[in-house]
Amino acid sequence: MDEFVARSLDEIRFWSRIMKEHSLFLGLGFRAEDTQLKKEADRFYAIFEDIERRSHEFQPNADPHTIQNFNTEVAIAATNIWAFKRMVLGLILQCKLPGQTNFPLLVDHISREANYFRNRLEELNTGRLEPLPDAIIDENVFFLKIMADHAKFIGHLLDPSERKLVDQAREFSNDFDKLVFQAIDLSSMRPQSQTVPLLSQFVDENKVSVKSLRDFKKTARDLIDECRIKSIIHPLLADHVFREAERFLFILDMFDQALSGAKVNKREILH
């Protein structure tokens, strides 16, 4: 199996589904009169649904050159949805869509994920993958902020009467805000901070917190599916944030393996 092909398809299969769902969530948040924005969100939904479908049609022995072209095509789509999300964010922050229900932080959040996706595909196509110590810090800075945001969204979308769950979400938000700052501090101390003991402790600590948040998201998702809690959280959104936590945990596990002695490069780590 070609590592470049496997890695590219894995990224596209995961993130194209995420982008498709972002399109749906944006569309649900627009007002009835925002027909043009709804149409654009629907268009992106169709684009990424098609990309996701095609990604599953490729076999592991697909021609690397064909996959390189596919990566380029998908990176362009990711760039376009990133631009759409930033445009929507601008409209919201300028109070031009009063009454729409997408949080500005949520729109910024999903644009960061589109940018991450685009950058990953470009890294793969050019072969410019970061050394392990840089990958560990950069992936954690990115994903810890994503997890912190998720905790905030959950807390704000639960019904205020779900006081205990709202408090739990707030605690996760505070925990992950601290982890984000720790990651930024470790990043600013580079390269001196990139010792195996420090990176190993960093990964271990983050794994504990991500596992707890992942379990909380899973419980929330199941309770929402069974209509056992009061919220305005779409069931698909509950599953969406759970899958992203699972993705982060998988990456942390691979970093853990790499730091414990196995020589693993970023391409292998994130496969």
Instruction: Kindly report the CATH number assigned to the domain that includes residue 220.
Output: 1.20.1260.120
From 129, 152, 173, give the residue that closes a domain: 129
The Cα–Cα gap between 189 and 170 comes to: 29
Quickly tell me which residue has 């398809």 as its tokens.
9
Residue 104: count of CB within 10 angstroms of its CB: 12
The string of pLDDT tens digits covering residues 19-48 is 999 999 999 999 999 999 999 999 999 999
Specify the pLDDT at position 129.
Answer: 86
Q: Are 99 and 137 found together in one domain?
A: no
d(CA 26, CA 100): 10
Q: Are residues 107 and 159 in the same domain?
A: no
Residues 76, 143: one domain? no
Q: What is the pLDDT of residue 106?
A: 98
Q: Given this model, what pLDDT does residue 1 score?
A: 61
Same structural domain for residues 4 and 90?
A: yes
Q: How many CA atoms lie within 13 A of 96 on its CB side?
A: 9
**Residue 226 burial (CB < 10 Å; 0-12/13-18/19+)?**
exposed
Mind listing the pLDDT tens digit for each residue in 167-184? 999 999 999 999 999 999
Do 83 and 180 share a domain, yes or no?
Answer: no
pLDDT in tens, 195-245: 999 999 999 999 999 999 999 999 999 999 999 999 999 999 999 999 999
Per the CB < 8 A criterion, the answer to whether 221 and 228 are in contact is: no
Q: Which two tokens stand for residue 246?
A: 């699972």
Query: What pTM value is reported for the model?
Result: 0.94
The token duo for 257 is: 């393996």
- For residue 269, is pLDDT > 50? no
pLDDT in tens, 74-100: 999 999 999 999 999 999 999 999 999
Which 3-state string (H, E, C) describes the chain?
Answer: CCHHHHHHHHHHHHHHHHHHHHHHHHHHHCCCCCHHHHHHHHHHHHHHHHHHHHHCCCCCCCCHHHHHHHHHHHHHHHHHHHHHHHHHHHHHHCCCCCCCCCCHHHHHHHHHHHHHHHHHHHHHHHCCCCCHHHHHHHHHHHHHHHHHHHHHHHHHHECCCCHHHHHHHHHHHHHHHHHHHHHHHHHHCCCCCCCHHHHHHHHHHHHHHHHHHHHHHHHHHHHHHCCCCCECCCHHHHHHHHHHHHHHHHHHHHHHHHHCCCCCCHHHHCC
Residue-wise pLDDT tens digits, 243-260: 999 999 999 999 999 999
Q: Say if residue 19 is in the same domain as residue 118.
A: yes
Is the same domain home to 117 and 3?
Answer: yes
Which of 129, 153, 170 delimits the end of a domain?
A: 129
Give the domain range for residue 165: 131-270
Residue 144 and residue 121 share a domain: no
111 lies in the same domain as 66:
yes
Same domain, 200 and 76: no
Q: What is the pLDDT of residue 215?
A: 98
Domain end point (choices 85, 113, 129): 129
State how far the Cα of 240 lies from the Cα of 17, in Å rounded to an integer. 9
Domain match, 175 and 229 both: yes
Residues 165 and 85 in one domain: no
Q: Which residues pair with 158 in a beta bridge?
A: 231
| Interval 96-135: pLDDT, tens | 999 999 999 999 999 999 999 999 999 999 999 899 999 9
Give the pLDDT score at 34: 98
What distance in Å separates the CA atoms of residue 17 and residue 28, rounded to the nearest whole number? 17
Number of domains in the chain: 2
